[in-house]
Structure 1
Amino acid sequence: MEGMESLAGWAYVLIFALLVVDCLLPVVPAETSLIAGGALAADGHLELPIVLAAAMTAVAAGDLLTHEAARRGGHRLLDRWVHREHRGRITRLLERRGSALVAAGRFVPLGRTAVALATGYARFPRQRFVPALLVGAALWSCYMVGLGYLGGHFFTHPVVAALLGVAVSFAVTGVTTLAHRARLRRRRGGQRYV
């Protein structure tokens, strides 16, 4: 029994580490590990509150690190890639909808990194960034862990539960992306959005 508790401790550390690294390098399969953590919590192998705490803390820490890196020096690198016209557009968009973008960016593929880099680059005020980041981290963590937890209740095998959670996550992301593109297409008078 003590060995299982030790493995559980490493699982929380792994979830935390993958989520922090995923904010900086979005190719890491952090979402899958988080859904698996939820499934393992449903099965009784992990504690749900600890999985959620590890996820929320890691997401907030990783996004804040990315934001600060862009704010403190990454802007010089981004200046080479971002045209002056786009810089102004990014700044204006953040002024109008910055908090909503920060909170929702976590739900968009590669959005979390793009938003953290853009807010750092544009020197988005920390007093607006941090609260929105915490809200987004909490909502996204509950969503991802919840997918695995619900899957764990429907299927006794954690791998099947995690795969179900990943499939549902992709489906939700796909539907929302298509809805967003359709709305943009209608707004632009029928022009095709790419």
Structure 2
Amino acid sequence: MDQIIQLMKNIDSSLHYYIDEYGAAIYILLFLIVYFKTAFVILTFLPGDSMVFASGTLAATGDLDFKILFMLFAAATILGDSQNFFIGKQLGKLNSENHFLYRLTSDKSIGKAKVFLSDYGRVAITSSRFVPLMRTSVPFVSGYTGYEFKSFLSYNLIGGLMWTAFWLTAGFLLGNIAWVENNLFLTLLMVSSTAFIPAIIGFVKQYKKRKEAVA
């Protein structure tokens, strides 16, 4: 089990090795990783942005098929978020924050997701997958708080397609650059760090507001 977890955590930086080892089955593995990451709030440690980006770079070199990747990643994240929504909805019906599934999540991330959803509504559902921790918490909280699934699904579809297109296309375009291909690990570190930019901006804004309020 530990080996499986390590494989799933590190697949983004060693993807080309696993292609040789698993062949066409790598598509199934990639689908499952994105699906599990978005379907269960306790699996946020799995790679997301970086893995889709790495897949795009390998599509640029012909090792993977771009069209297949796009369909698989889009389906995985949309289906995963939908399942996450229904998990939250079932817990909402139980009306129990003491349920073991709820206790496995971070109170801090759930609280932030509630505020994020309350402040930005539909935009939060569409853009949450671009924000660390929010990508799995917002669908869960949407279901838990009784958000209408029909509306959630519409904006979930838009967000899923946007997220997949952005990271996969970015990887594909940059994958044609020799430096990126030869320094994939360093590139993934840079890509992963960009995911925290929205969080940093939000922190700076909150800090300024508090400072102005004190003044």
TM-score > 0.5, shorter chain as reference:
yes
SS in 2 for 1:51: helix
Q: CA RMSD in A?
A: 3.3
SS in 1 for 2:130: coil
Partner of 2:91: 73
SS in 1 for 2:146: coil
Deviation at 1:178, TM superposition (A): 1.8
Using structure 2 for the length normalisation, give the TM-score: 0.72
- Residues in 1 aligned to 2:76 and 2:52: alpha-carbon distance in whole angstroms: 11
Instruction: Give 5+ residue unaligned stretches, structure 2.
Output: 1-18
Cα distance per residue 1:43-80 (max 9 Å; x no partner): 01112111111111000011110110110236647623
Alignment of 1:22-171 (within 5 A): 22-23=37-38, 24=40, 25-73=43-91, 76=94, 79-80=97-98, 90=114, 94=117, 97-155=120-178, 158=181, 160-161=183-184, 163-164=186-187, 166-171=188-193
Partner of 1:19: 34
- Residues in 2 aligned to 1:115 and 1:185: alpha-carbon distance in whole angstroms: 23
Using structure 1 for the length normalisation, give the TM-score: 0.79
* 1:179–1:157 Cα change, 3 Å: closer
Partner of 2:9: none
Overall identity of the aligned pairs, in %: 21
- Residues in 1 aligned to 2:96 and 2:190: alpha-carbon distance in whole angstroms: 34
* 1:155–1:93 Cα change, 3 Å: closer
Partner of 1:181: 203
Partner of 2:14: none
Deviation at 1:12, TM superposition (A): 1.8
**What amino acid is aligned across from residue 87 of structure 2 in structure 1?**
A
- Residues in 2 aligned to 1:97 and 1:175: alpha-carbon distance in whole angstroms: 18
- Residues in 1 aligned to 2:90 and 2:173: alpha-carbon distance in whole angstroms: 41
**What amino acid is aligned across from residue 21 of structure 1 in structure 2?**
F
**What amino acid is aligned across from residue 26 of structure 2 in structure 1?**
A
Deviation at 1:98, TM superposition (A): 1.8
Deviation at 1:93, TM superposition (A): 6.2
Query: Does the 8 Å CA contact 1:152/1:162 hold for their aligned counterparts?
Result: no
Deviation at 1:129, TM superposition (A): 0.4
Partner of 2:5: none
* 1:152–1:78 Cα change, 3 Å: farther
Query: Does the 8 Å CA contact 2:50/2:192 hold for their aligned counterparts?
Result: no
Cα distance per residue 1:99-138 (max 9 Å; x no partner): 1111111011121111011101001111210111111111
Partner of 2:25: 10
Aligned residues: 184
More deviation in 58-67 or 47-56? 47-56
Deviation at 1:147, TM superposition (A): 3.0
